[in-house]
Structure 1
Amino acid sequence: MASIRREIMIRSSAEKVWEVIGDFNAGPSRMAPGFVVDTRVDGDSRVVAFADGTVARERFVSIDDDTRRIVYAIVGESIQPDHDNASMQVVADGEGQCRLVWIHDVLPDDLAPSIDTAMAHALPVIKQALEPARPQA
């Protein structure tokens, strides 16, 4: 099983970032506007539509507010892995900043490069969406 781990520093408090990341129903649209074009709830799952036309059905697995960690699994739609379990965790890292740690475990292994590429493209979008705007000089 391939395991992909990506993380990024975000200049915002862990609490503010977690408000978005921990929102299973609307989080993807809030954290990655433009990269994600729609998120809708369907039972215990959310259906996430991406700008490239990919649609993923993500089933809620668990949430832990104390550790600021959410877990979901891709279960169908246009992406159909044998196994895909993902987690996002927000970790405080100093005054007014945090790290977002995103891990995907996926089978078959040959899906890993495309998932890694998507994660690499999404993280700067997430960072920009979650950091406060810098004042113009």
Structure 2
Amino acid sequence: MRHEIVVARPPHEVWDVLRDVGAVHRRLLPGRVLDVSIDGRVRTLTMPDGHVVRELIVDVDDDARRLAYAVIEGARPPLEHHHATFQVFDEADGQSRLVWVTDILPDAPAGLIRERTAYGVYEMKRVIEQA
């Protein structure tokens, strides 16, 4: 799955939000993520309903403005594999292009995951632009 969206903020500002992996609940998805904790490379997200998702932070590349992560526990629906990246690119007029690529297995829940990520990228855009 691939989502691209233009964000009306400079790339360094968008990247600053994305690279702050321990502040998803405050800076990227407030209300959608209740709390975040970090233990080494593992990020634990607590959702408003109490559900917990554990993610492995694979890479935070400041030069490429690219974040790679994988869900390792707590995916709903359960997945055999989940890997995703965010990347921030320069766009005209000082704006940014945010690209979110997600790979999952099995393919069966792809429609549901695509719908969630499509909504999520618009939610992120709104939050970042309002900051």
Corresponding residue number in structure 2 for 1:69? 66
Letter in 2 for 1:30: R
% identity of equivalent residues: 38
Matching of residues 1-137 of structure 1 within 5 Å: 4-27=1-24, 29-51=26-48, 54-79=51-76, 80-132=78-130
1:78/1:104 CA distance change after superposition, 3 Å: closer
Letter in 1 for 2:93: E
* Structure 2: runs of 5 or more not aligned: none
**Could you tell me how far apart the structure 2 residues matched to 1:106 and 1:7 are?**
18
Deviation at 1:119, TM superposition (A): 0.7
CA contact (8 A) 1:90 1:100 kept: yes
**Could you tell me how far apart the structure 2 residues matched to 1:96 and 1:52 are?**
38
Letter in 2 for 1:24: V
Deviates more, 1:40-49 or 1:121-130: 40-49
Deviation at 1:29, TM superposition (A): 3.9
Deviation at 1:127, TM superposition (A): 0.8
1:78/1:107 CA distance change after superposition, 3 Å: closer
Letter in 2 for 1:15: H
Partner SS state of residue 117, structure 1? helix
* Structure 1: runs of 5 or more not aligned: none
Cα RMSD of the aligned pairs, angstroms, is 1.8
Partner SS state of residue 59, structure 1? strand
CA contact (8 A) 1:57 1:77 kept: yes
How many pairs does the alignment contain?
130
Question: Post-superposition, which runs of at least 4 consecutive aligned residues in structure 1 deviate over 6 A?
Answer: none
